[in-house]
Structure formats: C-alpha cells, structure tokens
C-alpha cells in the first residue's frame, strides 16, 4: 500500500500549497491513503469546517489535529459529524470527536489512523502510551487492519521515539508532528515500523515555525505579548513522509521524506517515480 502523511498545514500559504499539490501527487504516485495534519490550517490556529472539506475534497482521506485543534470553536461541533477528522485520542473523556478510526481505501483495504498527543512540555493529558496500547490491541495489523498510521503530536523527540519503539512491529508508520521542522531520522525500525520524529510543516519556512518573524522575536526579547501571531505568506514547502507497506503484513518496506517547493531542499520518493 502507498501511504502519504503531510505535516502540519500552517495558514493560507500552507493551505494553498496542499490544495495545489495533493491532487497531482495522488494521481502521479498512485496513493492509496493520505493523512494530513491540519491543526494550524485556519490562520495558524485550528481548523474550520470549510477548510476541512477543502482538504478532503483535494484528496486527503483523514485529517489529524493537536493542541490547537479546537482553537476555532466551530470545530467542537462539526468534528462530531465528520468521522475523517481526528483529535488526540488521549484528551479527557467527554471531549467532542474521536481520536482513532478505521478507514477503507478505494481498493477495499482497511487503514487505522490514531492521533495521540504527548505530555512532555505539553498539556497534562491522559497517558498516551496506554491509549496507544489500547488501539493497537483492538485493531492489530493483519487481522484488524491492513495498515496503521500513528500521528504523535508532541514536543520532544524522546517521547516520540519512545512511542515509536513501543509500536514497532505493530504499526505501519509512527510519525511526529507539532514542532514544524522536518527531521532527517526517517527509517524503518527493527520490527518493521516506519518512523520519523517530525514531518515538518507545510507552510512558509522564511518564518518562525510558520509565523511572521517580528512578533515572535519581540516576545523573546521583551517577554510580554504584543500583536497577534500572523502566518507567513511566502512560498510554501509541502513536507511529509512517504511509506510503502507490505500488503501481507502491513509493515513498512520503503520510506522516503517529501519536501516540495519553497525554501527547503527538495525530496521525493524516487521509488515511486521510477
């Protein structure tokens, strides 16, 4: 199965890049399933229903969120009627929406997607390790699903790596989001799970993690808030990770970073472009 995960969409620049690229990539790379993290899609903070529908219409099969998932209050309502939009599974009981779901591809394969949020330097949510164990136990590869993708929205690489190691051999892909900077540690772990500490953002990298530079710099220097953070509007880079899985086991057989356009050096899965 051919899987694509796209890192955090930031503001209008990131939205425009995703909408321009994803329909083309779906066809050119013959993608079976696409996950997009969109917790910063609406002006850098949260997601709206119209943006969610745009991304699904462009070719996303599932959209994941994170700590900014409910910054747009309408998300508290429409997430209940949109099964393809996930928020972190370890939010407290009673939080609107769902943190995991099983989706069917056009070819009839089943894909489990789980959205988890870390706790180190983040909000003190429920235990992400226990939540991951529950989901992997409930829907194992081969018998419950044909592939599984875990979005770990977390601050520290150590927590992401720990969750990746716990899932190794039991998930197709464990990929980190949240820090908006792509890491270069993409690999297949010993048990067969594809891993990347952070997919990076889809947005303007001539910025401070997707935001215009002036206000973040001012806050670092002055230590008090002033103007609102505004997403940078320059040329965007689409960042993510491409994974090919074994149809029999659901484990990863190939992995490659994706970086298209904008400020960063390009990267594409050459094994899909032969």
Q: Looking at the annotation, which residues are catalytic?
A: 68
CB 92 within 8 A of CB 66: no
Cα gap 90→99, rounded to integer Å: 7
- Strands 147-153 and 173-177 turn out to be parallel
Q: How far is CA 70 from the centre of its chain?
A: 16
Closest among 3, 11, 130, 117 to 64, alpha carbons compared = 117
Question: CB-based contacts of 251: which residues, under 8 Å, 6+ apart?
Answer: 141, 169, 172, 191, 192, 193, 245
The secondary structure of residue 213, as a DSSP letter, is S
Cα distance from N-terminal residue to C-terminal residue, the chain: 17
Q: Provide φ and ψ at 267, rounded to 5°.
A: -155, 135
Closest among 62, 90, 91 to 76, alpha carbons compared = 91
Q: At what angle do helices 49-58 and 11-28 cross, to 10 degrees?
A: 20
Question: CB-based contacts of 28: which residues, under 8 Å, 6+ apart?
Answer: 273
Q: How far is CA 69 from the centre of its chain?
A: 12
CB 101 within 8 A of CB 62: yes
């Amino acid at each position: 199965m051919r899987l694509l995960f796209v890192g955090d969409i930031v503001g209008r620049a990131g939205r425009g890049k995703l909408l321009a690229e994803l329909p083309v990539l779906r066809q050119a790379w013959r993608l079976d399933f696409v996950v997009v993290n969109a917790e910063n899609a609406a002006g850098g903070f949260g997601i709206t229903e119209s943006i969610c529908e745009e991304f699904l219409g462009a070719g996303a099969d599932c959209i994941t969120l994170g700590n900014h998932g409910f910054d747009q209050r309408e998300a508290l309502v429409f997430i209940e009627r949109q099964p393809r939009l996930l928020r972190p599974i370890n939010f407290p009981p009673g939080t609107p929406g769902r943190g995991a779901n099983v989706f069917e591809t056009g070819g009839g394969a089943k894909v489990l997607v789980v959205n988890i949020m870390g706790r180190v330097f983040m909000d003190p949510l429920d235990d992400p390790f226990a939540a991951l164990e529950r989901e992997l136990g409930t829907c194992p590869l081969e018998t419950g699903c044909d592939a599984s993708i875990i979005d770990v929205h977390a601050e520290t690489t150590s927590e992401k790596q720990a969750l990746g190691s716990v899932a190794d051999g039991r998930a197709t892909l464990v990929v980190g989001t949240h820090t908006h900077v792509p890491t270069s540690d993409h690999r297949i772990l010993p048990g067969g799970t594809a891993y990347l500490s952070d997919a990076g953002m889809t947005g303007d990298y001539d910025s401070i993690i997707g935001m215009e530079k002036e206000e973040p710099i001012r806050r670092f220097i002055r230590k008090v808030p002033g103007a609102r953070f505004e997403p940078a509007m320059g040329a965007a880079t689409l960042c993510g990770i491409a994974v090919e899985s074994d149809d029999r086991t659901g484990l990863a057989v190939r992995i490659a970073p994706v970086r298209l356009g904008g400020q960063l050096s390009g990267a594409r899965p050459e094994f899909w472009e032969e």
